[in-house]
Amino acid sequence: MVGSSIAFLCASNSLDDVVLLNRTKSKAIGEAMDISNVISQTSNFTVRGTDDYQEISQAKVIVITASTGVYLKNRTEIISAQVEMIKDIAKKIKTYCMSPIVLVISNPVDVLTYFFQKETGMSRNSVIGIASSLDSQRFRYIISKNIGVKNTHITDAWVFGEHGDSMVPIFSKTKIKGKNLIEKINSKQKEEITKEVRNYWRTLRKFKTRSQFGIAKNTFDVIKSIIKNQTISTPASVLLEGEFGQNEVCMGVPVKISSSGITEIQSMELNSSEQDLFQKSAHTIRNYIDSVY
Ligand SMILES: NC(=O)c1ccc[n+]([C@@H]2O[C@H](COP(=O)([O-])OP(=O)(O)OC[C@H]3O[C@@H](n4cnc5c(N)ncnc54)[C@H](OP(=O)(O)O)[C@@H]3O)[C@@H](O)[C@H]2O)c1
């Protein structure tokens, strides 16, 4: 459902032609037929469904949302099957596609972004894991709810690191009406917010089997920045080569994205406890990577 939710936003906003590719062709065709009905009278863009990678050979952006199953307690529960799947998809994209920018959504997103980049050998700027922007959105939502401030008054609420239990909400940069959030909350509130952000998906699962709309909007924003060449500043997962003191790991960091993919990994000074948590998060992701190598 994540894939078709993203396609729905692209089609309803007349962004570009959309091809839905699924191993079960009939499902791709059905979703495409349904989504086609949102195309406005002023748009000549199309939506079609297929199981044939040749049909996406010219794609400017490819979004990967495939998933071999559902995890219940931890995003890494089905890690081996997911890594096998992403390697298979990577081989096909490498064979059939020209020079796409690839957005990895499937979980565990940091690990799969890493394996996709390694399998294809594509530039790290063209392989982007989308998740930290969703975590940041959740962070802002929880601050707004718990502290009782308007969403619009909260700025720079970033979450970096793993899209998982070791994610790092960056309290030191978050502002409320331009003032530092950290001066308005105590350590207990900080702990509660952190726990709530990390467990957001588990809480959501008590009411709905999976999330789809938040990630769809965040992914749509990135696709739009690429298609329209409008620079977006957002946290996303990318292979680090020394930035933030990390190597050989993909994890959420602040980046700038436009038509050529990631144009800049932004530097940002974190406080010592955030640096420590960021390092632990890198270590956690690297352990997952090593566990399936
Ligand atoms: N990054 C984020 O922040 C974020 C947020 C939400 C969800 N997600 C992730 O997004 C992924 C998709 O979630 P969803 O709810 O959309 O799942 P879904 O509705 O179950 O869709 C998964 C799709 O993957 C296909 N698939 C299954 N096994 C495959 C394989 N071996 N090779 C290729 N395709 C295969 C399925 O095809 P068939 O129809 O043929 O079975 C199905 O269409 C999950 O990994 C989820 O954790 C990430």
Instruction: Name all domains of the chain by residue range, CATH numbers in brackets.
Output: 2-129 (3.40.50.720)
Q: Longest Cα pair distance anywhere in the chain, in angstroms?
A: 55
Closest ligand 1 atom to Cα of 109: 1
CB-ligand 1 contact for 93 (6 Å cutoff): no
| Phi, psi values for residue 260, rounded to 5° | -95, 10
- Residues whose CB falls within 8 Å of the CB of residue 26, separated by 6 or more in sequence, listed in order: none
Q: What is the pLDDT of residue 73?
A: 87
- Phi–psi pair at 271, nearest 5 degrees: -75, 170
Q: How far apart are CA 19 and CA 34, in angstroms?
A: 13
Q: Check if 130 has its Cβ closer than 6 Å to any atom of ligand 1.
A: yes
What's the 70 CA to ligand 1 centre distance in angstroms?
8
Query: Quick one: how far is CA 100 from the chain centroid?
Result: 17
Cα torsion at 42, 21, 254, 289 (round to 10°)?
Answer: 180
Q: What is the pLDDT of residue 185?
A: 94
d(CA 162, CA 131): 9
Which regions of the chain are under pLDDT 50?
Answer: none
Q: How far apart are CA 282 and CA 201, in angstroms?
A: 21
Q: How far apart are CA 44 and CA 38, in angstroms?
A: 12
pTM summary value: 0.98
Closest residue CA from atom 32 of ligand 1: 85
Q: 186 CA distance to ligand 1 centroid (A)?
A: 39
140 CB near ligand 1 (under 6 Å): no
- Dist CA 220 CA 107 (whole Å): 18
Q: Which atom of ligand 1 is nearest to the CA of 211?
A: 6
* CB contact at 8 A, 130 and 219: yes
* 126 ligand 1 Cβ < 6 A: no
Nearest CA to ligand 1 atom 5: 215
Sign of CA pseudo-dihedral 201, 128, 90, 58:
positive
